[in-house]
Each structure stands twice: as C-alpha cells, then as structure tokens.
Copies of this chain bind each other. A is one copy, B any other.
C-alpha cells in the first residue's frame, strides 16, 4: 500500500545530522508512505510535477492513493504520554472533587464493578477520540491489559502499556510476565514497567519493583508528586519525597519517569535531570482536580524531557491534545507571571517529539524516510487558522481538534474528514459503553 500526500506544508521535526537540532521549518512539498513507513519527504520530484498522464510518472512505482493536501499542514502525530483510556466510562460521572476523595469515593468503587470486556469497549471509544484530536500513540495505564491490547489491535492503534501495579492489583511476577508477553505481542504494542503511585504501593512492593527493573534493565513510570498531600504523606512516612524515595530504592536505575510532577523539589528535578528521566505533564486534569500547576519552566530550564498527557477522561474530561497544548503554555505563563515563557514552538515539539522520547518510540518522532507512518493533517483553511501569519502559533494558540483533517497510524488512514475507517463500528462502540456506565452505576 503506497500513499502520496502532495501539495502539502510539512513540519518534519527531523534531527539535523550536523547539529542534532530539530528541523522546525515548514517545507512545501510532499510525503509518501509505503505500508507502515515513510519512504519520501521533500519537494515534488520532476517525474510528478507534470500531469497525471505524463509518461515520466511510469518510471516511478504507482501509488494506491494520491491525496491533494491543498496546502494544509502535515505533522508527526501527537503522542498522549499519559492516559487511562478505558476510563471513558466514568466521563462526567465523578467530577468536582479533589484527587484523593475523587479516587476513593468515586473512582475505585465503580472500577471494582468493571468487567474485562468493558475495558475493550471503553478503550475503543477513547481511540475514536484520540484520532479526532490527532493523537497517534498513547501511553496507557489501566487494568485488564489483555482486553486493552485487543482493543488497540482491532483499532490498528499504537499504544504503550504501563503496569498499574499497586497493593491491591497485580504482582511483580505478573508484571514480569506481561513485560515479556506484550513487548512481543504485536509491533503496535509495547510495555513498560510501572506502578500506580507511592501512596498505593507498600515499601516492600516498591523494593520488588526496583529489583525487577534492575533485573530487566528497564525503565519505570508511575504517578508522582501530583498533589501536595501526597508529597506531605510520603515525607511523613519516609522523610523523603516520592522521587528521592524511588531513586534511593533503585527504581530509576534504568530510566523512566513520572506523570504529573507538580510538587517537585529542586532535588527531585536534579534526579530527573541526572537520570535522564521524562516528565509527563497533564495540565487539564491538574486544574480539574485542583492539584496545582506543574513547574514547566523550571523543568525545561533543566533540560528534562517534558511530554504532554491528557490523563484519563474521568479527570480531564476530554482527550484533546489541542486543549492540553494551550494549557501547558497558558498555565506556565500564569505560574511564572511571565507571558514570554514556553513559546508555541516548544509546546508543539513536546506533543510531537518529546512524547516519542518518553515512550521510547524514536521511530515515530519525526517525518523522515524510514520512520513510522504516524502522521496527521491539520486544516489551515478554517477561520481559527487565519490569517496564515505564523502557522505554529496558530496550531498551539488557536488550533482545535476541528482542524484535524486526517490521522494516519502505522500507515493506515484511520480518521479522515470526520469519518472513521471500516474497522471502527462507531455506533456499536457508543452502545456498548453506554451499557457499561448504566450497569456500574446501578
């Protein structure tokens, strides 16, 4: 299957061989995919500049489809670097509560009623929403991985799972088994070691996790420093912040990182920098749970890899990378009282490139020959993208999911002009998820 996108503006984010800098220029040209890879990015070659009947075309292999991008923008797909897809079932159910009450009073009791097959349908609903927002890959923490993985494979969607291990769910032995199974299940799927959070994980269990991370030489991810209370409780338990505790236990010996990271000490940030850990920021969820504003400027100044996640739909409640991109910079400006901090270009890079770094998916971090064909097209011919004065600023400051014209994952067009590919039975997905929320609420 060979697809040609022509008459396009393209931001490749390609790493420059000489400087190592990312190419942030907007080029005019075209991009070709073959199966799940990019096979060409650049100017329109002479053979294709003429009409469709030009005999020069015969010297090139034929395309299965040629898409006139009409001057719109091709970008590497957005990476949603922290989410709980299956929590779509709790969207608009448990709102307007702080983190710990929200978890204990609303989320945990309803999650206890979830069936494995529910996770399949709720995750499929989430994929519909990711595609409509230009998200091509997710970093997902939830239960029933078998059903989640099946949902991703049936969706032809790229996902990295991370274990939600804690005192009440799963075990280190189980996590080790899943690590091997899901890192070899399907090229669309990979698996990271992880656990829910310090406050749901005993010291003994943390030690076992550290031992496994060291045995497998693998990175580890978890929720960390999300609320002030969480850090306070951890300090009173161990006289250490969560980050320092994890580091001392050896959990971060082979890298990884954490989600949220709002209440971070200087020592915490130093550890992130030295260990080359990633931070995934979740601004909408952090506002909605009143958790706080992450120190994004400080994180960037340290050169720590910063990616963006939506968090789950029970706390956000949208799975919308445009809203998150705006919030990353808007909240940083408010926090630092500095309208100049975290410019648009940096935010777009977080969504497209830094997410791939956090997920160990460098094959999807740019639009270059040989990279994975995970890409999106944004419509610049809508009023919120006009005038075309600064396209990157338009995307970050006034862009919206309504600008997403097309989302391609692993070489397949899954979403195009508001329509989903044939492997999504949208009405069936809605029907099944509405059944789930009715059942668990009753």
Contact = CB atoms under 8 A, between A and B. Distances in A.
A106 to B, nearest CB: 11
A123 to B, nearest CB: 12
A437 interface: yes
A323 interface: yes
Contact of A318 (B89, B318, B327, B398): B398
A340 B288 CA distance: 9
Given A339-B96, A397-B288, A381 B132 contact: no
A288 B393 CA distance: 12
Nearest to A102: B339
Interface string A90-113: 011101111100100000000000
A373 interface: no
A238 to B, nearest CB: 25
Interface residues of A, number: 71
B290 A337 contact: yes
A282 to B, nearest CB: 12
A390 B93 contact: yes
A226 to B, nearest CB: 13
Given A98-B339, A129-B384, A397 B316 contact: yes
Contacts of A383: 88, 125-126, 128-129, 132, 426
A326 B383 CA distance: 21
A385 B394 CA distance: 25
Nearest to A132: B383
Given A287-B334, A320-B400, 11 more contacts: A96-B341, A96-B344, A128-B383, A129-B383, A287-B331, A293-B334, A317-B397, A318-B384, A323-B400, A386-B434, A402-B402
